[in-house]
Structure 1
């Protein structure tokens, strides 16, 4: 079972409105020990994100060679002008791997979680994503066993988990079944590696395999 953003996100989100001053933003970041906050309107629609990095643009001394966007940051006095927009967001139903991809692609540390209409529902951070890979072995084993029994119906395939490494043993009829199991187990959050020792009776993936109607 894939871990979704809704399983890891924080729902008690600190945010500011577009008219918030720099002083207000700085106080909020310091008081709640966060490095960035969403900027929302009265209907809780996410307009952008303002971060410590955005504040640094304002505080930095210009040398006349900075980009237009940087100069705009330094002249900003409210969250609406200081924020990075549009915000990179994610849906609560998305898999946590999608959140990780977005963070890496856009080089951000947090993602506002929004509804289909753009309303703020929570926030997910890099720390939340990393927690997925610190799952206890017992948690991972439970997910693997459920996968084997419910999804593949393979009671003769057994799993052992140590340090996030899953060892699969047992026997199936076709090689394709073993390959499918290995891929599915490897996609479970918290699995660092799959040691596939599953045996099979027939190699149906071989180009020399015989197929009969």
Structure 2
């Protein structure tokens, strides 16, 4: 099994000159704990995690409490000073551990264990095409075990076709979708910024030849207006 077969397709990304407040908002909105950082050309230049944000302000490591404090210090009971204008570039990790679409899963597991990390961006020509988290690995391995010994190449081929169709629909660097396929049944997982996009992606996947059924597990998370 390779990265392309377990990764979450697409990834929410952020620019180096974005504020740490923007990074915190994206993590909360997308229900994730890390963001690949890309330049204006879409090239991967770093990664910023909740740990990086917490290290920037130190102290209490209660995740949501600190992320909400970064977003709106005035409404928090945290008294430690923070610099909301601090940029992602100031706190991100620049030496990013990456994988390619054909990286074997066992190598990804080894990279995570060796480097003590929870997620690995999947790149093609230094552009982020997906991300593999520990949860993705567990889902992929569970699916493989469930499918064995009756797994077919068609399941993986169908997954590739669904991902290609979603890419044409515009699912890429703004949202992340995990696509699982078994016996022609396609399951979509991910956090969507609005219901319209979620519906479009479901219909796009449904119209891919070979898809028998769609299991829609997309969650709509309406982005809140940035606080000042």
Using structure 1 for the length normalisation, give the TM-score: 0.56
Q: Which of 50, 61, 66 is matched with 1:52 structurally?
A: 50
Which 5+ residue runs of structure 2 have no aligned equivalent? 60-81, 153-228
State the distance in 1 between where 2:146 and 2:29 align.
Answer: 37
Equivalence for 1:77: 86
State the distance in 2 between where 1:15 and 1:143 align.
Answer: 33
2:127 paired with 1:129: no
Q: Which of 24, 27, 50 is matched with 2:25 structurally?
A: 27
State the distance in 2 between where 1:96 and 1:23 align.
Answer: 33
- Aligned to 1:102, the other structure's residue is in SS state helix
- Do 2:10 and 2:128's aligned partners in 1 also have CA atoms closer than 8 Å? no
State the distance in 2 between where 1:90 and 1:132 align.
Answer: 16
Q: Which of 5, 11, 14 is matched with 1:13 structurally?
A: 11
Which 5+ residue runs of structure 1 have no aligned equivalent? 62-73, 145-213
2:112 paired with 1:114: no
Q: Which has the higher contact order (CA 8 A, sep 6+)?
A: 2
Equivalence for 1:104: 113
Q: Which 4+ residue blocks in structure 1 deviate beyond 2 angstroms?
A: 135-138
Q: Which of 33, 41, 49 is matched with 1:43 structurally?
A: 41
Larger Rg: 1
Using structure 2 for the length normalisation, give the TM-score: 0.53
The count of aligned residue pairs is 129
